[in-house]
Structures are given as structure tokens and as C-alpha cells.
Amino acid sequence: MEEQQKSSHVVLVMVTFQGHINPALQLATILHSKGFSITIVHLELNSPNPSNHPEFTFVSIPDKLTKSQLSDKDIPGLVRSVNKNCAAPLQQCLEKILHSHHHIAAVIYDSIMFCAQPIVNDLGLPGVTLFTHSALGLLFYHIFPQLNEKGIPL
């Protein structure tokens, strides 16, 4: 029984931006219904209420976002700040979870948290990206580098 519990722990790294919260929690609920224990690592910003999901363990990491960053319309800058500010706390958090659970079946992270993949690689954990945007949003991932190459600011 203990071995099964060790192999069925999933960590979900959630960005708590509008439009990202519900898909992440829905995925966590589905995985939990399939027998996985769930730890949700999330930004301090717009933190979910743990009492709404008592079946999950919630861990907050500091995002160090300022009010001006949140009110600014520079979304790519905000995403860069989230990744810069959260990389070290995320690594420390995942190391702590790994130490306490000894095994993590997977780390599923929001695509905005692209700093997560190098961290899970360094820890030897499987990482899976969760795309919470529409198909059009996914298309922009292919267009952004082309716009950047042409010098068009994002």
C-alpha cells in the first residue's frame, strides 16, 4: 500500500491568473478521482482557497509581483517576472516535496511557468506542460518567436 501511495503523487504547479485556475483544479480533481494524491503549488497572487478543495495539499510560493506589474498591460513582461521570481522558490518547494514523499509520479506545470521544466529535469522528475489556453493561444506560441525575430515588440 505504501509503495502505491509513493508512486501516485502528482504535483501541479499552477499559475493563479484568471483563466488558468479552473482548468488546473479540474485536472487535479480528475487525477485525484483516479487515485493520485495531489499537491498544488501556486503563486501567492490570487491564491485558491484550500477549504474549497480539502482533498489537495496547497503550497504557496512567493511571486514578488508588484501592483504596477499587475496593472501594466505588459503580459510578456509579467510572465518573464513570474518565471524569474518563482524559479528558486519553486525548486526549493519541489525539493521539499520530493524529500517528504520520496517519489513524485509527475510534475504538471502551467505553460506560463516555463521555468519549471529545467527544474524538474535537474531533479530527475517527469514534467508535463498544461496548456490552459485556447487553440488560438497555442498558435501564438509559434508566432511569438517569429515576431521577435522581426523586431516586433510583444
State how far the alpha carbon of 99 is from the alpha carbons of 58, 61, 95, in Å.
17, 17, 6
**CA torsion sign, 20 to 111 to 7 to 35?**
positive
SS3 annotation, 90-121: HHHHHHHHHHHHCCCCEEEEECCCCCHHHHHH
Instruction: For residue 110, indicate whether it is catalytic.
Output: yes
Please enumerate, as own/partner, the contacts of 139-148 that have beta carbons within 8 Å and a separation of 24 or more: 141/111, 144/76
List the catalytic residue out of 20, 53, 72, 99.
20
Q: How far apart are the first and last CA of the chain?
A: 50
List the catalytic residue out of 9, 42, 63, 110.
110
Instruction: For residue 72, indicate whether it is catalytic.
Output: no
Catalytic residue numbers?
20, 110
